[in-house]
Structure 1
Amino acid sequence: MAAAASSAWKTRWLRPEAYPIFAATGVAVGICVMQLVRNITTNPEVRVTKENRTAGILDNHDEGRRYSRHPFRRFIDGKSSEIMPAINNFFTDPSKS
């Protein structure tokens, strides 16, 4: 009986058509886990140990700046927010064509 139920589950969910939803869900879960770990380990407002929790409110602006200016944010600073700027410029600026 259990083998039949396992076989029915496999035939229903483990099809090639279902792989993209598994991949998208896996990426989303991975991003969530990465953000949770980042917040727990580096966020200056999160205090996990009891000794740190007793410290109260700290005015540590340098630590907060380091947390908010993470490497990915520094990488995208100054870059265009357009997805395809060359195509956008081609269609919006007729003087260049």
Structure 2
Amino acid sequence: MSRWVKPDVYPLMAAMTFVTGMCIFQLTRNVFLNPDVRVNKAHRSMAVLDNEEEGMKYAEHALRKFLRTRPPEVMPAINRLFAGDRPE
């Protein structure tokens, strides 16, 4: 096996493994949590689902609620450093 996998390929393999893992995570999350995905037969038989409450719960998740209260800054300390008052 060492003949086929060279050390130069390790970073590429790591990046591809990470991206594949992210894709699998997102697909699994959508199948289990997205209110528009219909897995069981009871929901597939209805043309329009009456699941407004479930849709709002999906759209307004805890991370989005937390970020709504935070200022839109990536690095607040660096922003304060560069935007601070300077002596003239």
Structure 1 stretch 23-32 or stretch 41-50: which is displaced more?
23-32
What is the deviation of 1:41?
Answer: 1.0
1:56 equivalenced with 2:47 (yes/no): yes
Change in Cα spacing, 1:29 to 1:66, as seen in structure 2 (3 Å) is same
- Paired letter, 2:21: G
2: CA distance between counterparts of 1:51 and 1:43? Answer: 16
Structure 2: 5+ residue runs without aligned partners? none
User: Highest relative contact order (Cα 8 Å, sep 6+), 1 or 2?
Assistant: 2
- 5 Å-filtered alignment, 1:78-93, equals 78-93=69-84
Secondary structure class of the residue paired with 1:10: coil
Alignment partner for residue 45 of structure 1, among 33, 36, 43? 36
2: CA distance between counterparts of 1:88 and 1:59? Answer: 45
- Paired letter, 1:28: V
Q: What percent identity do the matched residue pairs reach?
A: 40
2: CA distance between counterparts of 1:51 and 1:26? Answer: 36
Q: TM-score, normalised by structure 2?
A: 0.75
RMSD: 2.3
